[in-house]
Amino acid sequence: MKRCMTSKSFNRFLEDSLDPGSLARLQAHCRKCRTCAGKLESWRELKEKLNTVSSITIPDGFKEKVMSRITNERILPARTVEAKRGLAVAIILSAILYSIFRPFLRPLLSGMASNLLKALSVVLYNFLSAIGIDPSVLIRLFGNIMASSRGLLPLFMVTTTLMVAAFILLLVKGRTARQSG
């Protein structure tokens, strides 16, 4: 008896991707080999069951409903390329403007960043107080850690910066993916 059929052949039979020659060989072999005939039967059974379980009917008039809805809609202009170009131009312009007006802008931006940090600190302080944690304990603990091992400060700052950058990237990437579907 010729070599028995492999599972891959039966799998290809299941998805109707066997060429006519291979299909004929498979069927001829299964007429002589009871083991393979049994396997063929079980693959055939699986195929039928998968077709049964996968049968799904589109609701009546679905296409017409969709077409009727889109008559009230208009195709929006593509945003991806334009938005990227706009962002690139904005970054370059900002860099140029900053380099020109650096002496005036630097103290202004530092002040804004400082105020923002202060506001965030106040929010965090109030939040910790509200949930019953004494913020001064945490501040002392953090201060002690930083004082005892000064080497950790740059590491802490780099990690925080990376985390913030990763968070912003995730937000932007998620938004882009959703916009493009």
Partner 1 sequence: MQDYEIVRLCLQGRTEYFEKLVDRYQKLVYSLAWTYLKDPQLAEDASQEAFVKAYKHLASYNPEYKFSTWIARITTNTCTDLLRKRKDLCPIDDAFEVTDPEDTPEQQVIGRETKNRLETLINGLDPKYKQPLMLYHLSGMKYDEIAEYLDVPMSIVKNRIYRARKMLRQAMED
How far is Cα 134 from Cα 126, in angstroms, rounded to an integer? Answer: 10
CB of 39 to partner 1, least distance (A): 8
C-alpha radius of gyration, the chain, whole number: 33
Taking residues 61 to 80 in sequence order and writing x for each that binds partner 1 by CB under 8 A, - otherwise, the string is: -xx-xxx-xxx-xxxxxxxx
Q: Count interface residues toward partner 1 (CB under 8 A).
A: 40
Q: Within 13 A of 39's CA, how many CA atoms are on the CB side? A: 18
Q: Give the range of 5-13, 114-122, 145-153, 155-163 binding partner 1 by CB under 8 A.
A: 5-13
Q: How many CB atoms lie within 10 A of CB 32?
A: 10
Query: 7 vs 99, which CB is nearer to partner 1?
Result: 7
How far is Cα 181 from Cα 148, in angstroms, rounded to an integer? Answer: 50
CB of 4 to partner 1, least distance (A): 16
Residue with tokens 């990763």: 166
Residues 101-160 that bind partner 1 (CB under 8 A): none
Chain center to CA of 93: 31
Q: Using the rule CB under 8 A, is 99 a contact of partner 1?
A: no
Residue 33: φ, ψ to 5°: -105, 115
Provide the 3-class DSSP secondary structure of residue 5: coil
Candidates 56, 130, 131, 147; binder of partner 1 (CB under 8 A) is 56
Query: 18 vs 43, which CB is nearer to partner 1?
Result: 43
Residues 8-47 that bind partner 1 (CB under 8 A): 8, 11, 14, 42-43, 45-46
Beta carbons of 11 and 43 less than 8 angstroms apart: yes
CB of 10 to partner 1, least distance (A): 8
Give contact residues for partner 1 (rule: CB under 8 A). Answer: 7-8, 11, 14, 42-43, 45-46, 49-59, 62-63, 65-67, 69-71, 73-80, 177-181
